[in-house]
Amino acid sequence: MIATIQYNSKKYQIDLSQSLDISIPMRASKSNVNAWYVDPPIIEPVKDGEWIATVKDGACINFNNIFFNPHAHGTHTECVGHITEKVHSINQNLKQFFFLAEVITVAPEKLKGDFVISKKQIQFALGNKKRDAVVIRTIPNMKDKLSMQYSNTNPTYLLEEAAIYLKEKGVNHLLIDLPSVDKEKDECELLAHNAFWNTSGKLRMEATITEFIFVPNTVDDGTYFLNLQIAPFENDATPSKPVLYKIME
């Protein structure tokens, strides 16, 4: 199905049947991707005495409880409420779901024993392009990102200068294949989060950060339309399903 989208006075065509899902599914497993020192997610049937809410155990339905942390257990989208005293809801602040996006691939640099993403790298990858969303794929880009246990591993992170650059360039939606845009242990400075959401000035309420994506190597760098799908949680963050669509020539 071909759809025509008019965006910023320009018309684009996309094939809705050719979606590129860049989310990581959540599983009740120790091999589920994980960060922030929490146990794996749990998906289990409701139990009432001897009654178990699964069809295989004699019930007429499958009826599961799910216990998870959106920040720790998979692809999630968060708003400024993640780091403010007043907890703003992602469901209240993300009201548009289609964006012109640029996929870029970055090889993290070594800095003082850490691997980081710098302003210079993003500046080089984006050039003079103006995009509402930027999708960052880091390399190496192996499938082990789907099951990585990140706690206490000091993963790659975004330098504050890079977050400032993205904000000043007008990028409202930042997506990255890491557990956080910030360093795992930084004494709660959260430099990239604070810079991107402009917490020292007027809060960027419409801006979002999506972490724990996975962009397959079959997806080329370039311009796409992004459909940023979220679950309607009244919370600072929610599980999400970002989907890319190629723009037809």
Nearest to 78 by CA among 166, 210, 198, 190: 210
Averaged pLDDT for residues 107-112? 97
- Joined together, the tokens standing for residue 118 give 């710098």
Beta bridge partners of 43: 66
pLDDT of residue 249: 76
Q: Going by C-beta distance under 8 Å and a sequence separation of 6 or more, which residues neighbour residue 152?
A: 37, 184
Averaged pLDDT for residues 165-178? 98
What architecture is domain 2-26+70-247? 3-Layer(bba) Sandwich (3.50)
Q: pLDDT tens-digit profile of 86-101?
A: 989 999 999 999 999 9
Q: Could you tell me the sign of the dihedral formed by the alpha carbons of 135, 141, 142, 148, in that order?
A: negative
**Order of strands, sheet of 157-158, starting from the edge strand that comes earlier in the sequence:** 109-111, 114-117, 157-158
pLDDT of residue 87: 87
Domain residue ranges of the chain, discontinuous segments joined by +: 2-26+70-247
Q: At 120, which helix (H) or strand (E)?
A: helix 119-126
Q: State the pairing for strand pair 64-67/109-111.
A: unpaired
Q: 31-44 burial string, b = 16+ CB within 10 Å, else e?
A: ebbbbeeeebbeee
- Joined together, the tokens standing for residue 119 give 């302003």
Please tell me the distance from the alpha carbon of residue 175 to that of residue 160, in angstroms, as a whole number.
16
Under a CB-based contact definition with an 8 Å cutoff, are residues 176 and 150 in contact?
A: no
Beta strands in 92-171 (DSSP E): 98-106, 109-111, 114-117, 133-138, 157-158
pLDDT tier, 1 (very low <50, low <70, confident <90, very high otherwise): confident
Nearest to 100 by CA among 7, 232, 199, 189: 7
pLDDT tier, 9 (very low <50, low <70, confident <90, very high otherwise): confident
Please tell me the distance from the alpha carbon of residue 51 to that of residue 147, in angstroms, as a whole number.
33
Q: pLDDT tens-digit profile of 62-84?
A: 999 999 999 999 999 999 999 99
**4 or 155, which is more confident?**
155
Under a CB-based contact definition with an 8 Å cutoff, are residues 93 and 186 in contact?
A: no
Please tell me the distance from the alpha carbon of residue 80 to that of residue 34, in angstroms, as a whole number.
22
Q: At 174, which helix (H) or strand (E)?
A: strand 173-176
Q: Going by C-beta distance under 8 Å and a sequence separation of 6 or more, which residues neighbour residue 46?
A: 52, 53, 63, 64, 65
Backbone φ and ψ of 81, nearest 5°? -60, -15
pLDDT tier, 198 (very low <50, low <70, confident <90, very high otherwise): very high
